[in-house]
Amino acid sequence: MPHTIITDIQIQSVKKYLLSLQDNICQTLSHADGHGEFVEDSWQREEGGGGRSRVLSKGSVIEQGGVNFSHVFGDKMPKSATAARPELEGRKFQAMGVSLVIHPNNPYVPTSHANVRFFIAEKAGEPSIWWFGGGFDLTPTYVFEEDAKHWHQVAKNLCDPFGDNVYSEYKAWCDKYFYLKHRDETRGLGGLFFDDLNQWGFDKSFEFMQAVGNGYVDAYEPIMERRKDTAFTQRERDFQLYRRGRYVEFNLVYDRGTLFGLQSGGRTESILMSMPPMARWEYNYTPPPGTPEAELYQYLQPVDWV
- State the binding site: 99, 103, 113, 115-117, 152, 182, 265-267
**Residue stretches of the annotated binding site for substrate:** 99, 115-117, 265-267
Handedness of CA 167, 172, 176, 180 (dihedral sign): positive
**Residue stretches of the annotated binding site for a divalent metal cation:** 103, 113, 152, 182
In angstroms, the CA 282 to CA 304 distance is: 31
Residue 188: name the closest of 96, 290, 103 by CA.
103
Q: Which amino acid is at 3?
A: H
In angstroms, the CA 177 to CA 100 distance is: 17
Does residue 111 contact residue 244 with C-beta atoms inside 8 Å? yes
In angstroms, the CA 5 to CA 11 distance is: 11
Handedness of CA 76, 81, 83, 86 (dihedral sign): negative
Give, rounded to a whole angstrom, the gap between the first and last alpha carbons of the chain.
32
Asked if 35 is an active-site residue, the reply is no
**Per the residue annotation, which of 3, 31, 71, 113 is the catalytic one?**
113
Instruction: Cite the active site residues.
Output: 113
